[in-house]
Structure 1
Amino acid sequence: MKIGLEISRSGAETRASIEDPTVPVSQTSEFMALFGLDGVNLPHVTIDSALTVPAVSAAVAFLSRTMATLPLHAYRNTKDGAVRVSGKLQVVVHDAPNDGMDSFKFRQYFWQQVFTVGRGLAWIERTPQGVEALWPMDPNKTQIKRVGGRLQYKFGDKIYDQVDVIDVPFMLRADGVRHYGPISMAAKAIQLALAMNEYGSKLFAGGGVPPLALVGPLPVGADAMKRAMVDIGRAIDVARQNGKPIIPIPPGYELKPIGFDPEKGQMTEARTHQIQEIARIYQLPPVFLQDLSRATFTNAEQQDLHLVKHLVGQWSEAFEGELNLKLFGRFNAGRYVEHNLDGLMRGDFKSRIEGIARAVQTAQITPNEARALENRPRHANPAADELLVQGATIVLGQQPVVKPNAPNESNPVDEPKGDGEADDNEA
């Protein structure tokens, strides 16, 4: 039976009432209102409300900033290998996509939309000379539809074709047009986190006093019940304000807590579980949401590798693929855009320097290329542009070549004797 407004078969409007013997008294709005519980619902989840959950805001901020921090460059394939492109294309990709945003701000905004709304969009401004700028688009104000097999994006009063829009969805729906957003898909988990935040704030704002039941002879009538509730509530408030743990109770009555207290309800464990649930939404290792409950030195390091291999690397590939397709077309003549994931090691000086040194010693990069990675000036010595390798490294199966020692004072070379000369020992 539905409680509240009902329409009978005859069309007449009927309402459930506390006086209706066929309706449980606890289900009527009058009874719930008597205890101040009418209209109790779980909080509605929006992007703004979801971001008030610390784990959600931490995940969005961490991922968007991490993706915005990665160095992004444009390259061209040549017979001598990949060469970094200079000029306006490099400025748009690496420095400033448009006149009002640098690369970090543009990409941070772009990825914030992916990890909240579920879609990042940007319009490509072109001139006869090539790509001029990239402009962000608000996905909430963009209408996407398929016309003649091609996607069209209506933003404001303009319609853009699919070749002019960078589009990275969190997850596409079956029609290939609409998308799923992480916050909308995880609404129940976020709703529970919001409810626990609300419960905890009300509990501690009320001095840690849980909901109470007045046990004893009940007052006669709804008005008398309300007055008793007001009197008890006033007594609790006075005791809390005065710092006194004792409140007066009329003879024959007692107060008993109802529901459960946070400790028995495992509220701390439940909040930790919600952090892990939100980490699952973004496939983010929990250690990056400051959940160290199961972290050790070893598995925290493995989670760091997991972040690069199974999360940042995937989103980097999605962004690179979209940029390469939309900026250069399907037949891009060897031009491409690529992230440098080594940028994630910028904070670990020891590992970064050891990696660079090993790359120099194994002839993968020259010393001047290594200096460029650290934004240091080129060395004037021509040898700094040569590939170096350890001299002890030889081809398998070959014997090492031993060169004769050069003459010096400690190891003189015997000079040929003259006809009249003899050794000192021959005398």
Structure 2
Amino acid sequence: MKWPFKKAEADALSEVRSIENPTIPVSSESFLAFFGVNHANLPHVTVDSALAVPAVAAAVAFLSRTMAALPLHAYRDTKDGPKKISGKLESVIHDAPNDEMDSFKFRQYFWQQVFTGGRGLAWIERAPQGVESIWPMDPYRTTIRRVNMRLVYSFDGKDYPSEDIIDLPFMLRPCGVRHYGPIVLASKAIQLALAMNDYASNFFAGGGVPPLALVGPLPAGAEAIKRAQADIKRAIDAAKSSSEAVFPVPSGYELKPVGFDPAKGQMIDARRFQVEEIARAYQLPPVFLQDLTQATFSNAEQQDLHFVKHLIGQWSEAFEGELNLKLFGRGNNNRYVEHNLDGLLRGDFASRMAGYATAIQNAVRTPDEVRQLENLPTKGGEADKLQIQGGTVPLGTQPGLKPANDNKPTPTADPAAGDVPKEPEAA
């Protein structure tokens, strides 16, 4: 690659790159580079190294398990409303997608790929009778390319058409083929968290003693300096191994720490901020990463609602749309797959029972439907019918109220016209 500047231009450019120059951006990289710190020494971020950061591991585990635990069923629209589909399709969707994995294990693996590398893939095995199985695919061993404007997935030397592949990316690149993953997007924040982990582990591995400098008249000769350094190191090691708080220092010398102590360097606050940054990358409220520093009773409950409405609901919709398209095709109009998010909003026992009572009394659910939600056996008969309180009737038809036409005045007899009052009939 040809250097874009001539030598004179490059020399002039290097002369003006000074921290005194207000036109030079003082970013983290340029600022550290000015003091001779090379940002390339920061740890390299991979999926495995990112999962060594507790906040990343907690986010991936929490999201993947939550999505895997959501009830998932297949339905068919009928004239009486949606009905669950039974048979092989329900078994594949709800029970076990294949012979080796149940539904939770399969979906947990699928979502782990989405929330780490950024893409979940699965192959639909079809039989003449319909869908036979769904098998997970390793995204790192799958090549995706576009052939004649259609996506083709190559896995283990075999090509698969897009209509047989469940493909859910975290975020697509402009080409529509490649993708962004959350770990790549948050790599700088994860890199900083890794660097602080390394610094903290090295710091406390040394007994909490930062690098030290021996201050005083320097010994004559290089060998004498090495002997003095070795004497000090032996004294420190002996003090650490014997748990002694005092060790000797040669007369006329003084030990001074070099570098920052974690408290003064605000490392504790910085590490807490990294939890917020990683939560932000996953769009998670920090309370779900066990960061309760800003949590209260009320806002923690609101974060729970935010989590279901603005995160789990969105990913559920994306997964349902992909399954419906690939399992049933574009022309399908009466079969669909859907999550049940009610389980995430169950609340405490009293609130749940109050909600059930309201649903039954207003003919929203039958008593048997409520019993099924609580994993109780159904009773049948009247319990399988929609019910409503007896006091709820159409306006104007309450018991004991005269009809509207009864309020008209009763005509009276006119003797001048020959009208004779009618005698009341005997009882």
TM-score normalised to structure 2 length: 0.82
- The alpha carbon displacement at 1:116 in A equals 0.4
- The alpha carbon displacement at 1:228 in A equals 4.0
- The alpha carbon displacement at 1:39 in A equals 11
Q: Write the deviation string for residues 274-300 of structure 1: whole angstroms up to 9, x where unpaired.
A: 110110010000001110000000000
- The alpha carbon displacement at 1:191 in A equals 1.0
Q: Write the deviation string for residues 177-217 of structure 1: whole angstroms up to 9, x where unpaired.
A: 00101111111111111111111111112111111112223
Q: Which residue of 1 aligns with 2:278?
A: 278
For 1:54 and 1:221, the matched residues in 2 are separated by 48
1:400 partner amino acid: Q
Q: Write the deviation string for residues 291-341 of structure 1: whole angstroms up to 9, x where unpaired.
A: 000000000000000000000000000000000000000011310000000
1:151 partner amino acid: L
Larger deviation, residues 124-133 vs 217-226: 217-226
- The alpha carbon displacement at 1:52 in A equals 1.0
- The alpha carbon displacement at 1:136 in A equals 0.3
Q: Write the deviation string for residues 98-148 of structure 1: whole angstroms up to 9, x where unpaired.
A: 000000000000000000010000000001110000000011111111111
Matches within 5 A, 1:235-314: 235-314=235-314
1:400 equivalent among 391, 398, 401: 398
Cα 1:232–1:123 change in 2 (3 A) is same
The DSSP-based 3-state class of the residue aligned with 1:293 is coil
The DSSP-based 3-state class of the residue aligned with 1:201 is helix
2:386 partner amino acid: L
RMSD, aligned α-carbons: 2.2
Larger deviation, residues 255-264 vs 334-343: 255-264
1:387 partner amino acid: L
1:155 partner amino acid: F
State whether residues 345 and 351 of structure 1, in contact with CA within 8 Å, keep that contact through their aligned partners in structure 2: no
Q: Which residue of 2 aligns with 1:389?
A: 388
Q: Which residue of 2 aligns with 1:182?
A: 182
Larger deviation, residues 369-378 vs 321-330: 369-378
Matched, 1:99 2:94: no
Size of the alignment, in residue pairs?
A: 368
- The alpha carbon displacement at 1:349 in A equals 3.3
1:402 partner amino acid: G
For 2:286 and 2:349, the matched residues in 1 are separated by 24
Q: Which residue of 1 aligns with 2:318?
A: 318
Matched, 1:128 2:136: no
For 1:227 and 1:321, the matched residues in 2 are separated by 72
Matches within 5 A, 1:366-377: 366-377=366-377
1:115 partner amino acid: F
1:272 partner amino acid: R
The DSSP-based 3-state class of the residue aligned with 2:175 is coil
For 2:158 and 2:225, the matched residues in 1 are separated by 62
Q: Which residue of 2 aligns with 1:117?
A: 117
Q: Which residue of 1 aligns with 2:419?
A: none
State whether residues 69 and 343 of structure 1, in contact with CA within 8 Å, keep that contact through their aligned partners in structure 2: no
For 2:354 and 2:228, the matched residues in 1 are separated by 74
For 2:222 and 2:306, the matched residues in 1 are separated by 61
- The alpha carbon displacement at 1:368 in A equals 1.5
For 1:331 and 1:349, the matched residues in 2 are separated by 43
Q: Which residue of 2 aligns with 1:412?
A: none
Runs of 4 or more, structure 1, over 6 Å off, are 37-40
Q: Could you tell me the percent identity over the aligned residues?
A: 69
- The alpha carbon displacement at 1:355 in A equals 2.1
- The alpha carbon displacement at 1:386 in A equals 1.6
Cα 1:389–1:267 change in 2 (3 A) is same
Q: Which residue of 2 aligns with 1:193?
A: 193
- The alpha carbon displacement at 1:374 in A equals 2.1
For 1:309 and 1:160, the matched residues in 2 are separated by 35
For 2:318 and 2:364, the matched residues in 1 are separated by 28
| Residue ranges of structure 1 left out of the alignment (5+ in a row) | 1-8, 10-36, 405-427
For 1:340 and 1:160, the matched residues in 2 are separated by 31
Q: Which residue of 1 aligns with 2:340?
A: 340
Q: Which residue of 2 aligns with 1:202?
A: 202
Q: Write the deviation string for residues 16-68 of structure 1: whole angstroms up to 9, x where unpaired.
A: xxxxxxxxxxxxxxxxxxxxx99992111111111111111000000000000
Larger deviation, residues 227-236 vs 180-189: 227-236
1:383 partner amino acid: E
State whether residues 98 and 134 of structure 1, in contact with CA within 8 Å, keep that contact through their aligned partners in structure 2: yes
The DSSP-based 3-state class of the residue aligned with 2:106 is helix
TM-score normalised to structure 1 length: 0.82
- The alpha carbon displacement at 1:163 in A equals 0.4
State whether residues 368 and 378 of structure 1, in contact with CA within 8 Å, keep that contact through their aligned partners in structure 2: yes
- The alpha carbon displacement at 1:171 in A equals 0.6
Matched, 1:77 2:107: no
| Residue ranges of structure 2 left out of the alignment (5+ in a row) | 1-6, 8-36, 403-427
For 1:317 and 1:272, the matched residues in 2 are separated by 32
2:201 partner amino acid: S
- The alpha carbon displacement at 1:247 in A equals 2.1
For 2:39 and 2:119, the matched residues in 1 are separated by 34
Matches within 5 A, 1:6-17: none
Q: Which residue of 2 aligns with 1:138?
A: 138
- The alpha carbon displacement at 1:354 in A equals 2.5
Q: Which residue of 2 aligns with 1:47?
A: 47
For 2:213 and 2:187, the matched residues in 1 are separated by 33
For 2:40 and 2:162, the matched residues in 1 are separated by 46
Matched, 1:167 2:137: no
State whether residues 118 and 169 of structure 1, in contact with CA within 8 Å, keep that contact through their aligned partners in structure 2: yes
2:217 partner amino acid: P
Larger deviation, residues 367-376 vs 334-343: 367-376
The DSSP-based 3-state class of the residue aligned with 1:207 is coil
